[in-house]
Amino acid sequence: MTETVVCLENVRFARGGRTIFDDISVEIAAGEITAIMGPSGTGKTTLMRLITGQLQPQQGKITVLGEDIGQLNRKQLMQLRRRISMMFQNNALFTDMTVGENVAFPLKEVLNMDQALIDIIVSLKLQTVGLRGAAHLMPSELSGGMARRAALARAMVMEPELMIYDEPFTGQDPISLAMLTSLVKNLNRGLGMSSLVVSHDLVEVCRIADKILLLSAGKIAAYDTPERLMASDDPLVAQFFHGYADGPVAFHYPAVDYRQELLGGEDADHR
């Protein structure tokens, strides 16, 4: 495994006339759990799509697992994606398949494994997430926490080098949260992989993340350990990590001066 799992060099990405990332650069260390955080609308999901090659930047270079994304053809990109897994916020389980069949799906479709070997691997992965006894159940029969763990079992069945979690803690009860945070941390260490966690849940992120990448206004506002960021006196970092209402992230959406609007009436410039 390379020492750097993801490297962004002078990346710029714009869409719909809006600049989402403006010349950002960062090296994300391999073997760690890195959380991607920031105020709503700062491009966290867009960054994940850039990293997986679903989107291409207008400028800059993105290297993932030692591969320059921009230089890969379609076949090479598909090969790279086999080394990456993603757990989706909505779990994305196939509703017409059992839990066991869901977990087995990548092994059948991608690797075309022998069924006997598939059964062994599926049983092992479900045992890891505490759902071996639920292999016969349909997704509709699972609780929210169980469905999230089933999705995790399917995501890790290919034993990826890079695991991406999209809002893994959303909508979970305290017990399920504790289970998930423990699984994410233990799996990252046990499988020797790297993890990127997109989340708004600051408490849970601080429990498991080695580093936090904070996005804001098209830039990387910070990239450091949770402990250092919590102690930071940077106004934006402090506002985000301590939940201050007042700070660089304003309450009001940009508009003309309110007094000017009142005085100007209908002729006020709203551009």
Point out which residues pair with 4 in neighbouring strands.
29
The answer to whether the beta carbons of residues 209 and 224 sit under 8 Å apart is: no
Topology classification of domain 4-83+160-267: Rossmann fold (3.40.50)
Sheet strands side by side (includes 67-68): 18-29, 4-15, 59-64, 67-68
Q: Is 32 exposed, middle or buried (0-12, 13-18, 19+ CB in 10 A)?
A: middle
The pLDDT tens digits of the residues spanning 208-228 come to 999 999 999 899 999 999 999
| Averaged pLDDT of the chain | 90
The DSSP code for 41 is T
Burial call 97-114: b when 16+ CB within 10 Å, e when fewer: ebbbbbbbbbbeeeeeee
pTM of the model: 0.85
| Cβ neighbour number for residue 188 with a 10 Å cutoff | 19
> pLDDT per residue over 16-53, tens digit each?
889 999 999 999 999 999 999 998 888 999 999 999 99
Domain extent listing, the chain? 4-83+160-267
